[in-house]
Amino acid sequence: MKFRSNLWIGGALIAVVVAGGALAPWLAHTDPVMDANLMNAEMPPGSEFWFGTDAQGRDIYSRVLYGARVSLTVGIVSQLINTFIGVCLGMSAAYWGGWWDDLVSGLTNLMLAIPSLIFALAIMAILTPGLTSLLIALGLTNWSFTCRLSRAATLSIKEQGYVEAARSLGYTDTRIMFRQVLPNIAGPIIVIGTLGIGGAVLAEASLSFLGLGIRPPFPSWGSMLSDARDQITTAPWISIFPGLAIFMTVLGLNLLGDGLRDVLDPHSQTRKA
Amino acid sequence: MLKTLALTTALALTTALTAQAQTQTPRSGGTIRFTAPYGSAFASLDIHTANRAQDEIWAKAIHRSLYNWDSFANKPVPELAKEVIASKDGMTYTFKLRDDAYFHNGRKMTADDIIWSFTRIMDGSKGYPGARYVRLIKGAVEVEKGQAKEISGLKKIDDFTLEMTLTEKTDPGFSFYLSTTAIYPAKEAQQPDYFSKPIGLGPYKFTEHVPGSRMVVDKWEKFYKPGKPYADKVVISLMGEASARDVAFRNKEIDVSILGPTQYVAYQADPNLSKGLLEVAEVYTRVMGMNPTFKPFADKRVRQAINYAIDADLIIKRLVRDKAYRASGWLPLSSPSFDKDKKPYPYDPEKAKKLLVEAGYPDGFEFEWTATSNESWGIPIVEAIIPMLAKVGVKVKIKPVEGTVLSEVVRKGEYQAYIWSNTSGPDPLASMKCFHSATPQSACNYTLYKNPEVDKLIDEAGATDDAAKRVELLKQANNIVQDDAPMWFFNYNKAVMAYQPWLKGLQPNATELAIQYYEDIWVDASSPAAK
Amino acid sequence: MLPYIARRLLQMVPILLAVAALIFLLFSVIPGTFASSMGDDGRTVVDAQVMERMNQELGLNDPLPIRFGKYVAQLATFDLGTSFRSRQPVSQVIADRLWPSFQLAMAAMLFAMVIGVPLGFAAAIKPGSLFDSVAIMLAVSGLSLPKFWLGLLLMYLFALKLGWFPSFGYGDGSLRYLVLPAVALGVSPLALLARTSRAAVLEVLHADFIRTARAKGAGNIRVMRWHVARNAFVIILTTLGLQFGSILGQAVVVEKLFSWPGLGSLLVDSVTLRDIPVVQGCILTIVLLFLVINIIVDVLCAAIDPRIKYS
């Protein structure tokens, strides 16, 4: 088996980010919110503040670490919601067919037609900015690909004998879907999910730029980057570190997703995805 | 100390600008490349419907109102009238109108145009923001309610003489200098295509509007001020993103830019850019309003404790980068009733703690603070305050909202605390009325302030004929409000405009620096757009 | 073919109706009104009476079902209503922004295609090679940058430091103004296209008919040129069609940053200032554009690849 560079590089990047977020309370030098000290405002990177400080005098290194928690939470939770919705709708539509299938297809087409960032923008404006709103906005707007994929995969599996066999054993529909069908379509869904986490991290940044992201004092990379944009010439470190963190994470997720695709889904049909 | 320094700076700047205008002969021709820095696209080409600063920026090129704001004298001055005569009781004003003011189709303005414009604004089926000002004229409310067709307090004596009767004794200049009360040509404005190609009395005539991008206006040859305007053309570009505006300005693509705190520091440090900075103490006061219906804030001692607990000077110095003047009350530096001897609340966390104990909050309390993301009066400021208040045991939960929502919840009183930037001038009487108990929360008494003593002082100030006495009464009222601390008084904005070396004749407009009278601005030969 | 197009066009109707209903309902519960947006800069105190009248004039005081009824009745006559802010018909407001928006989206797609497709093809020639890894890594890097940050970096580098392009705005509509925003917007579709075309070429290269062609003695270059290109283009076109949606979405950010007068910046302004009819009109237009582009893509695919048949 050949060395899968994207899988390894991607995995390593993500491992660093996850470790950083998980170990933030131990690795961070200061509390990311309460340690605003205006006497230290906008210090360049140095031995005391590794990544420098921001306009409020908070340690950027610590905020980037804690930011990993928020940004990863946003990415992973919203993507779990998307995957859950997509898989449930897709599988059940293919499995039961009929009017339910028509309804789900209609919904999928609808979701596909509204650009997800615009949909998320609308939801954020309505729910007012914040973490929960963001999870809802990003979690409800990006499930159409997963749904289509699950539906197509379930349809093809349904034709094969073993679902029929399970049914004759008297298993319930739900049990068959989750025990028999799901494991068989998990590969491509994991791939889409991985790529989607990256998309959600970027979407969070975009929404922050538009004034509709998570609001501080919770440090999220998107809001840190967006708040620092006016200082990009005067104090570039304030934006460079959260920017790099986003870049690393999304790059890692994309590489990991590609790598996983090669492993889990070797006969990927680009046409369908 | 800081205040006197600020005042001197403001004065010095004013003199410097006047001197500059006098020593150089203005050059005619060229293009002024202006910017509209406040986010959104222009709302509408019907300026009567749009009251945001962003729209006033183009309106001053095309339209004129009865009065202008004189930035150097810091007061409204008659613009469309050559002479204004007030009656003895101060309730009736006679305007001798200009007979040389032409609309951009070449027609001469008469008293009928003014009467028509004001009557239009009072249309009770429409929501024209200018109604708030025109209501000052007797009989306007009747038109608004549909009880009359004409405003009884506006009388045309002849084509160029207009008599205006007011409902209260006040200088009408403060009500009629904004473009929400601009004068439209009566007949032409009723044509269907008027609002796609508006004409007015301003120094420039409408040429092109690319929605969301820019507006282009060309010199109006028959403008009533001799020799003006100087430039052939003004291009006003919409540039809401401060970072993008910074690049465009450094790249010499635009002639002016409004600066935020971070860029202010950077421009000051740059040997070339620092030469082109115009600083003005604007009539905006940044405050944290505290809702008295939220139990802890009902106690004056708690509100004072908040004022003591926040190190405003430090925030202004380190975070706002001295792009603001420390507030010692509601009325701003440039206000005639500003009391320069009144001290702001000092930073004294010990005293704050003591006050909290006295008020029955030895362990502090928690409150929700509604704020937008604005860098000068929003969440970034609150973030710096959180640890300061935590030191005296007060916990803060930020409730982030958009500007539109802030403006709604504050007006409805649906907040525990808010932080906002509000206009506190130019008319000190109108500004102080925001603390009169008769003013509803939905108007501008956002903190439901109520103090009979202040009510009495404001009423007296409104009734007196003696200008000096009025100033003094309002000064007293302002000081009492500061002691009562319905708000944490944060700062008065220092607006900073960066301009290219070839741009001359900018005015230090304290009501809003981004609003300039273009007829006074000219570009010298070194501008890339000098031709 | 014509019946197929007609059917596809008809299928758009329920989607558009559903979108219209969805956004109407969403925006009927949004906090803040247009009237309250007028005081958001704290510059003037907006009179409570005037605000109330404004709500009345704009029909915001009617109960929700009546407003919805009016809205549907309007849509039925292809009327999008009147903008709260500009008091112009929404169709006019949108028409003013359509061309710049279209220009930007097309330029971004063109940029993505011109660079992304050859990159993907080149990478596919020797899969697993250093060139392959670097090319794909570069493409994915572009995808991984937040758009506004990338836009700012482009502005600093190409406008301020190098002075090659103007930093902002629409200017006189000339190409120079289009370059930077188009590049900022085109980077993500570029990465996806590079990846897709690489995969498509690899897939096609292993397909039976290529082996047949090779067996018949067709040279490598000929194989690349004809068979691969034709088949890969179908996949690429489809990807591009689907990417068009995300381009329209991302345009919101890029247009705002570059002060580009397109639908995206109009949408953001209108959401912020609660100009609901324009918000609805904008989203409907964006959805319509997306659907139409995808029909065109499907038709083009059929024209390129005779094996694709629509009934």
B135-186 pLDDT tens trace: 999 999 999 999 999 999 999 999 999 999 999 888 899 999 999 999 999 9
Residue of A nearest to B387 (CA): A34
The verdict on A2 touching C (C-beta cutoff 8 Å) is: yes
Q: Nearest 5°: phi and psi at B325?
A: -110, 135
pLDDT band at A257 (very low <50, low <70, confident <90, very high): confident
Cβ atoms of residues B421 and B284 within 8 Å: yes
pLDDT band at B12 (very low <50, low <70, confident <90, very high): very low
Cβ atoms of residues B528 and B507 within 8 Å: no
Interface of B with C in 392-411 (CB under 8 A): 401-408, 411
Point out the residue among C146, C245, C286 whose CB comes nearest to the CB of A206.
C146
Strands laid side by side in the B204-210 sheet:
B31-36, B233-238, B214-219, B204-210
Chain B CB contacts of C46 under 8 Å are: 51, 129, 132, 407
Summarize pLDDT for C272-286 with one digit per residue, the tens: 899 999 999 999 999
Q: Which helix (H) or strand (E) holds B78?
A: strand B75-78
Interface of C with B in 19-38 (CB under 8 A): 31-33, 35-38
Contact call for A56 and B319, based on CB within 8 A? yes
Segment C157-160 long-range contacts (CB within 8 Å, at least 24 positions apart):
C159/B247, C159/B248, C159/B251, C160/B247, C160/B250, C160/B251
pLDDT at B419: 96
Residue A77 has pLDDT above 90, yes or no: yes
* Best to test chain B binding among A40, A58, A234, A239 (most B CBs inside 10 Å): A234
pLDDT at A33: 73
Point out the residue among A110, A123, A268 whose CB comes nearest to the CB of C18.
A110
Structural domain range at position A193: 2-21+59-272
Strand pairing report for B233-238 and B31-36: parallel
Residue C310's CB is within 10 A of a number of other CB atoms, namely 13
pLDDT at B6: 47
Question: Looking at residue B207, what DSSP letter applies?
Answer: E
Segment B8-27 shows an average pLDDT of 57
Closest CA of chain C from A197, distance in Å: 12
Residue A190 has pLDDT above 90, yes or no: no
Residue of C nearest to A250 (CA): C144
- Assess if residue A51 is contained within a domain: no
* B355 vs B352: CA distance, rounded Å: 5
Percent of chain B with pLDDT over 70: 96
Contact call for A113 and C252, based on CB within 8 A? no
Query: How many domains does the structure of chain A reveal?
Result: 1
Closest CA of chain A from C281, distance in Å: 13
pLDDT at A273: 32
Contact call for A254 and C143, based on CB within 8 A? yes
Cβ atoms of residues B359 and B36 within 8 Å: no
Helices then strands, counting H and E runs in chain C, come out as 13, 0
pLDDT at B2: 44
- How far CA C79 is from CA of C85, C89, C91, C273, C278, in Å, comes to 17, 8, 8, 22, 12
Segment B428-437 shows an average pLDDT of 94
What type of residue is B39?
G
The verdict on A128 touching B (C-beta cutoff 8 Å) is: yes
Segment B262-282 shows an average pLDDT of 92
Neighbours of chain C (3+ CB pairs under 8 A): A, B
Residue A270 has pLDDT above 80, yes or no: no
Chain B CB contacts of C163 under 8 Å are: 251
* C179 vs C159: CA distance, rounded Å: 11
Higher pLDDT among residues A128 and B154, named by residue: B154
* C6 vs C13: CA distance, rounded Å: 11
Domains B64-197 and B282-493 share a fold: no
Q: Nearest 5°: phi and psi at B234?
A: -125, 130
Segment B106-133 shows an average pLDDT of 94
pLDDT at A34: 73
Contact call for B250 and C163, based on CB within 8 A? no
Residue B247 has pLDDT above 50, yes or no: yes
Cβ atoms of residues B163 and B92 within 8 Å: yes
CB pairs under 8 A between B and C: 187
Average pLDDT, chain C: 85
Strand locations in C89-202, DSSP E?
Answer: none
* Best to test chain B binding among A40, A43, A56 (most B CBs inside 10 Å): A56
pLDDT at B249: 94
Contact call for A230 and B242, based on CB within 8 A? yes
Closest CA of chain B from A268, distance in Å: 42
Chain B CB contacts of A41 under 8 Å are: 318-319
DSSP secondary structure string for all residues of B315-376: IIIIISTT-EEE-SSSS-TTSTT--TTPPPPP--HHHHHHHHHHTT-TT--EEEEEE---TT
Closest CA to A250 of A32, A13, A23, A62: A13
Summarize pLDDT for B28-72 with one digit per residue, the tens: 999 999 999 987 889 889 999 988 899 999 999 999 999 999 999
Contact call for B444 and C45, based on CB within 8 A? yes
Cβ atoms of residues B309 and B349 within 8 Å: yes
Contact call for B400 and A129, based on CB within 8 A? yes
Closest CA of chain A from B411, distance in Å: 18
Segment B325-332 shows an average pLDDT of 94
Summarize pLDDT for B492-521 with one digit per residue, the tens: 999 999 999 999 999 999 999 999 999 999
* B349 vs B302: CA distance, rounded Å: 12
Point out the residue among A123, A225, A251 whose CB comes nearest to the CB of C140.
A251
Residue A226 has pLDDT above 90, yes or no: no
Residue C126's CB is within 10 A of a number of other CB atoms, namely 10
Interface of B with C in 32-51 (CB under 8 A): 38-41, 43-46, 49-51
The verdict on A56 touching B (C-beta cutoff 8 Å) is: yes
Segment A155-173 shows an average pLDDT of 78
Average pLDDT, chain A: 84
For C225, left (φ over 0), alpha (ψ -120 to 50), or beta? alpha
The verdict on C281 touching B (C-beta cutoff 8 Å) is: no
Neighbours of chain B (3+ CB pairs under 8 A): A, C
* B86 vs B90: CA distance, rounded Å: 6
- Assess if residue A219 is contained within a domain: yes
Summarize pLDDT for C245-302 with one digit per residue, the tens: 889 889 999 998 898 999 999 999 999 899 999 999 999 999 999 899 888 888 888 8
> Domain coordinates of chain B in residue numbers?
64-197, 282-493
For helices A5-22 and A237-264, angle between their N-to-C axes, nearest 10 degrees: 130
Contact call for C15 and A198, based on CB within 8 A? no
Closest CA to B360 of B298, B291, B416: B298
Q: How many CA atoms lie within 13 A of C251 on its CB side?
A: 33
Segment B88-94 shows an average pLDDT of 91
Cβ atoms of residues B118 and B124 within 8 Å: no
Strand locations in B220-255, DSSP E?
Answer: 233-238
- Assess if residue A36 is contained within a domain: no
* B347 vs A70: CA distance, rounded Å: 34
Average pLDDT, chain B: 92
* B493 vs B30: CA distance, rounded Å: 32
- Assess if residue A30 is contained within a domain: no
Question: Looking at residue C140, what DSSP letter applies?
Answer: H
Point out the residue among A55, A56, A230 whose CB comes nearest to the CB of B243.
A230
Cβ atoms of residues B347 and B313 within 8 Å: yes
Summarize pLDDT for B393-417 with one digit per residue, the tens: 999 999 988 889 999 999 999 999 9
Q: Nearest 5°: phi and psi at B70?
A: -90, 105
- Assess if residue A134 is contained within a domain: yes
Instruction: Judge: domain B64-197, CATH 3.90.76.10.
Output: yes
The verdict on C180 touching B (C-beta cutoff 8 Å) is: no
Residue B420 has pLDDT above 60, yes or no: yes
What type of residue is A234?
T
Chain B residues within 8 angstroms (CB to CB) of chain A: 242-243, 246, 260, 262-263, 265-266, 311, 314-315, 317-319, 373, 375, 379-380, 383-384, 386-387, 390, 398, 400-402, 405
Segment A84-106 shows an average pLDDT of 90
Segment B181-207 shows an average pLDDT of 94
Chain A CB contacts of B246 under 8 Å are: 230, 233
Chain C CB contacts of A254 under 8 Å are: 140, 143-144
Q: How many CA atoms lie within 13 A of C306 on its CB side?
A: 1
* B319 vs B311: CA distance, rounded Å: 12
Cβ atoms of residues B506 and B308 within 8 Å: no
Q: Nearest 5°: phi and psi at C174?
A: -80, 165
Q: Tokens 């301003």 appear where?
A: B202
Q: How many CA atoms lie within 13 A of B115 on its CB side?
A: 22
pLDDT at C208: 64
Q: H helices within A97-160, ranges in order?
A: 98-113, 116-127, 131-139, 144-158
* B295 vs B450: CA distance, rounded Å: 16
Q: Tokens 């790529």 appear where?
A: A195
pLDDT band at B531 (very low <50, low <70, confident <90, very high): confident
Residue of A nearest to C19 (CA): A110
Contact call for C256 and B240, based on CB within 8 A? yes
Instruction: Judge: domain B282-493, CATH 3.10.105.10.
Output: yes
Q: Which helix (H) or strand (E) holds B484?
A: helix B467-484
- Assess if residue A160 is contained within a domain: yes
* A215 vs C147: CA distance, rounded Å: 19
In three-state secondary structure terms, B460 is helix
Q: Which helix (H) or strand (E) holds C299?
A: helix C276-304
Residue B206 has pLDDT above 80, yes or no: yes
- Assess if residue A26 is contained within a domain: no
Residue B25's CB is within 10 A of a number of other CB atoms, namely 7
pLDDT band at A217 (very low <50, low <70, confident <90, very high): low
Point out the residue among A125, A128, A231 whose CB comes nearest to the CB of B262.
A231
Closest CA to C42 of B157, B519, B422: B422
pLDDT at A230: 81
pLDDT at B17: 52
